[in-house]
Amino acid sequence: MWAVYERGHVAHLGNHTNNRLESAWGALKDILKPEMELDECVETLYFLQTTAELEYASRFNVLGSRVYHGADEMLLRLAVLVSPHAFELIRKEYELFKSGSLSYEGRWIQDKIVHMRSHATGGEYTVNTSTFVCSCFFMRTMLLPCHHTMFVRSSMNKKKVIPINYIHARWLLQSEVNRPEEDESDDDISFAAFRVQASHMRSVEHAVLNGSSKWKTGMDIAAGVVEAMCSQGTPTFVKMAEALRGFRECARRGAVPIISVDPPCSERAVERVVEVTSEEDRPEFQNQMPDNGDTDVERDGIFRRREK
């Protein structure tokens, strides 16, 4: 009862949104457990979303047939273009128009603007004949042709009383937004559900990562760095820790340090770097490659060996 209290003219698509949300959250509680980690919960939600989108897309691509009893030629043409739910909604408006139980008085108030008034209910509506958009609650909510637009098209002696060419793209089966993406990579199917952006905006440089993706990627990299550091000797580990502390300060400020990388060094050079133990021969952290030839770069342009 409280869900509809003073709702006014707020669009709700034929149902109360808060009830559907509560039902959806209740279903998730059966899958997500309190002992699950945050990353596991996020991955589960992504999987459920991807599965639901793929199931939704399969309904538009499955081969089959639908039979509509009592539908005339106009409705049969409509059934090929829109989803079954949209067809049933338009069919009710079409049958209301053909029943003859309603009558309207219309007049032109502006160029391509018709004002209609119902003799039965006294309701007033305006129809734009350039786009056949009506001000009634049904069309503003559902974005589908109403019987008011059919009355106007009939008075204008249009061959098709249903404005098929002006139906919103969200209901069209062959619309770009309802067409599944076919050429996505198989590595990540979470982005292969729908083409929601233009083709020039789907490149990697325009991809936006959420907080969970950034956290998971950063933790994976950090885990590999820690594992590599622990396999080094104590002097090397101490120097690496100091370098990482400096990198942490750069990350806090949002500054990206530039590290020059030398071609892969030989196995002998790697052994020489690991075997450095004396105070004089310990490697020093360098954020840039030396320009002169007096130094011997030992490993990835980061450590150098002091010449005695």
> Over the stretch 130-166, which tens digit does the pLDDT of each residue have?
999 999 999 999 999 999 999 999 989 988 899 988 8
* Banded pLDDT at 216 (limits 50, 70, 90): confident
Is a pLDDT exceeding 70 seen at residue 117?
yes
Angle between helices 38-61 and 211-230 (to 10 degrees): 130
Report pLDDT for 44. 86
- pTM for the whole thing? 0.43
> 165-174 contacts: CB < 8 A, separation 24 or more?
166/131, 166/132, 166/133, 167/81, 167/82, 167/86, 168/143, 168/144, 170/143, 171/82, 171/83, 171/86, 171/143, 171/144, 172/81, 172/82, 173/60, 173/80, 173/81, 173/82, 173/83, 174/81
- Please list the alpha-helical segments (H only) found in the chain: 17-29, 38-61, 73-81, 84-99, 137-142, 147-155, 211-230, 234-253, 267-274
More confident residue, 264 or 83: 83
Locate 191 and state its tokens.
Answer: 């982005």
Q: State mean pLDDT over 110-122.
A: 89
Is a pLDDT exceeding 60 seen at residue 296?
no
Report pLDDT for 18. 55
Report pLDDT for 22. 67
* Banded pLDDT at 289 (limits 50, 70, 90): very low
CA distance 280 to 259: 24
DSSP letter for each residue of 185-228: -SS-GGG-S---S-GGG-SGGG----HHHHHHHHHHHHHHHHHH
Mean pLDDT for the chain overall: 73
105-109, 152-156, 194-198, 205-209: least confidently modelled range: 194-198
269 contact partners, CB below 8 Å, separation of at least 6: 298, 299
* Banded pLDDT at 223 (limits 50, 70, 90): confident
* CA atoms 92, 98, 101, 103: torsion sign: positive
Report pLDDT for 5. 53
